[in-house]
Amino acid sequence: MTAPFEQAATLGVVPVIAIERASDAVALADALLEGGLPLAEITFRTEAAAEVIAIMADKRPELLVGAGTILTPQALDAAIAAGARFGLAPGFDGEIVAAAKAKGFPFAPGIMTPSDLTAVARNGLTLAKFFPAKAAGGPAMLEAISAPFAHLGTRFVPTGGVSLDNMHEWLKLGVVAAVGGTWIATKADISEGRWSDIAAKARAAVAKAREIREAGK
């Protein structure tokens, strides 16, 4: 894996965030940093995404900020121009994968089936998002579909239905690099300025990931 994804794997959790107002970018970044989670996946589900990434990259460079929900080449270009240091998508799009590779941009497409994983392998990728993780069959499903590809060293970021209460079910799997956490900074938390709550949830997620990993040694 590339350096940004290695850092995500070290932390064990990636906060997946949809943020509506660019004016909240610095406060959100500070809350994550205060919670010991210097990482954020800002999804392109809102019009503010690119601006939020640009502000975070400029004002809080110690935060490793990436872009999520990259569904088009245009979104990929916007993420890179804004200063995103990595990107993810909910599905596999060969055009986007090729463009990211050509630009040297760390990118993890989404998978849900062995066919998706075959496409990942054929493109020489070693990290993919497993989405929607819970609805697609949970840890047992990921373990089953990833088995034929284990010799390639492919690892995953399950996202969708992952929570503080069930993240241990995912992180105990050797193929899981980190979990995607939408609960850490919800739209409601951000819109209502609950920065201390976000910091607390970030802190709890990092501590839980560390505890799970240490117990598995």
Active-site annotation holder among 6, 34, 41, 143: 41
Query: 193 near 31, Cβ under 8 Å?
Result: no
Tell me what pLDDT residue 90 has: 98
Q: pLDDT averaged over the chain?
A: 97
Q: Are 15 and 88 in contact (CB under 8 A)?
A: no
Q: Does the pLDDT value for residue 137 go beyond 90? A: yes
> Region 12-32: what's the mean pLDDT?
98
pLDDT of res. 1: 75
> Is 217 marked active-site?
no
Q: How far is CA 191 from CA 5, 19, 27, 181, 185, in A?
A: 28, 8, 11, 18, 10
Cα dihedral 110→115→120→126 (10° resolution): 80
- Please name which of 53, 6, 16, 18 lies closest in space to residue 179, comparing C-alpha atoms: 16
What is the dihedral angle through the alpha carbons of 202, 208, 213, 217, rounded to the nearest 10 degrees? Answer: 150
- Report the percent of the chain where pLDDT is more than 70: 100
- Does residue 38 carry a pLDDT above 80? yes
The CA distance from 171 to 177, in Å, is: 8
Q: How many helices (H) and strands (E) does the chain have?
A: 10, 9
- Cα separation of 52 and 98, whole Å? 25
Torsion of CA 99, 102, 107, 113, to 10 degrees: 60
Task: Quickly state the pLDDT bin for 217 (edges 50, 70, 90).
Answer: low
Question: pLDDT by residue (tens digit) across 73-94?
Answer: 999 999 999 999 999 999 999 9
From the candidates 129, 134, 201, 208, give the one annotated as an active-site residue.
129
Strand partners, 111: 130
For the segment 181-206, the average pLDDT, to the nearest whole number, is 98
Classified by CATH at the fold level, domain 3-215 comes out as: TIM Barrel (3.20.20)
**Three-state DSSP class for residue 15:** strand
Q: What is the mean pLDDT of residues 132-152?
A: 97
The DSSP code for 52 is: H
Is 172 assigned a catalytic role? no
Is residue 66 within a helix (H) or strand (E), and if so which, with residue range?
strand 64-68
Domain borders along the chain are: 3-215
- Using CA of residue 25, residue 27, residue 32, residue 34, what is the dihedral sign? positive
CA distance 3 to 25: 24
